[in-house]
Amino acid sequence: MLRCQDSENNAQFYRLRLKDLWFIMHNAQFIIDSSETQNIASLLVGFDLPLSKSVRARELVLDALSGFDVKIEEDNDDLFVLSRALYNSQFTIHNSQLSDKSDWSDESDNSQFSILNLRDSGTALRFMTAFCAVSEGEYVLTGSKRLCERPIKPLVDALCRMGAKIEYVDKEGFAPLRIKGGNLKGGKVSLDASLSSQFVSALMLIADKVEGGVDIEYEGDVASEAYIRLTEKVIERYRRGERRSEEKDWSSATVWYAAMAVLRTGRFLLEGLSLDSCQPDRAIVDVFEKLGVRTIGTEMGVIIEANCDIVDKLVVDCKNMPDAVMYIAVAACVLGVDFEIRGIETLRVKESDRIEVLITEMEKCGFEIIHNSQFIIHNLKTTMCDVQYVVQKPLIKTYNDHRVAMAMAVVGLVREIDIENPEVVSKSYPGFWEEIRKIKNRK
């Protein structure tokens, strides 16, 4: 057992992390004084992660459908937008008490529709489309220019076959949507889920409010099927009375795996992260092990560190974890590892066209990534030493995409870059820039 004679200033910190320090010392038994404790702790950088956006979004919809008051959440922009939309919806509106009326245009007497501005949140658009379809009231769902370019037709078609009253305000297949809520009839419902698993999850979440339930028959391939299993798990837990999970976000953790892969020094503690999670991005553990990152589970969270084993070529299917693609590609490029990443079909319809963005922005840093319809490839064995003078301090565009900003920040750990519109990370990880300074301050 590790025993520590704590200094006055650090007593509470090290007492809380006693078991984690035991793991860090590779299971050896030591008796150390306060100065040695400080040396051990200097190897460990702890990162605060946001709550799982995927898990919490599903819980919020279930809360609203169950008649619970939904409180507006500010952990990140996506959860804020969704929780506010649910709060302002028919299930939780009390008279005229609306939150943030600047995003509504139903204040005039001649408007009978509540207009919900979902900004850039694709999750909110898909979940609110299904939610409003079974909710009493009349709604218009709209958002940013990019949101109104993201496809919604497969979900709308499925809901209309169940009796939903949904119209396109402008272009068919895309928001804005005009929805008049009411009773739906379920049974067998066909659905094209090749573009987004959230079409499926949206129907699953409202199934208990649909007459006859919902029996989904898939048309063709299913995108990111692991997220459908996540929805099943959340619904199962909710029915057992577990309304709120405090799970930390594996998608946000991926950036720290990429950072460790390229820096290859020290240890990172990803606080509150669990290896027992059913979040699909938990699969990054195995992927980054091939890029030289070892994972250790502890009671305080997950500790990651570099080891010496890096593959010559990485072949990975990211169909079930598309949000991890950019981080994996960036880390492999910086390490000079050939890669072939498959399962990228849905990246075209994310917050940006992430395939083209990755190719364009990494080229500024001297890396060539090749794309075809099924995968992206990097096989030039380019290293940072070879390319650091290709573009001096390139300006990286983020395209209003949070994952572009965070993935390219990993490149910024090993060479100078400027990142345009860095505040876009607030969509999923508002504290990201403060957290990454912890690394820069240790270098």
Task: Cite the active site residues.
Answer: 323
- Cα–Cα distance for residue pair 154/126, rounded to 1 Å: 10
* DSSP-derived secondary structure for 253-298: HHHHHHHHHHH--SEEEEET--TT---GGGGHHHHHHTEEEEEEE-
Inter-axis angle of helices 402-411 and 325-335, nearest 10: 10
Tokens 């390219």 correspond to: 408
Angle at 146 between CA 322 and CA 55, to 5 degrees: 45
Rg of the chain over Cα atoms, rounded to whole angstroms, equals 23
Among candidate residues 125, 108, 63, the one with its CA nearest the CA of residue 116: 125
Count other Cβ atoms within 10 Å, centred on residue 211. Answer: 11
- Cα–Cα distance for residue pair 432/212, rounded to 1 Å: 44
Cβ-in-10-Å burial (0-12, 13-18, 19+) of 110 comes to exposed
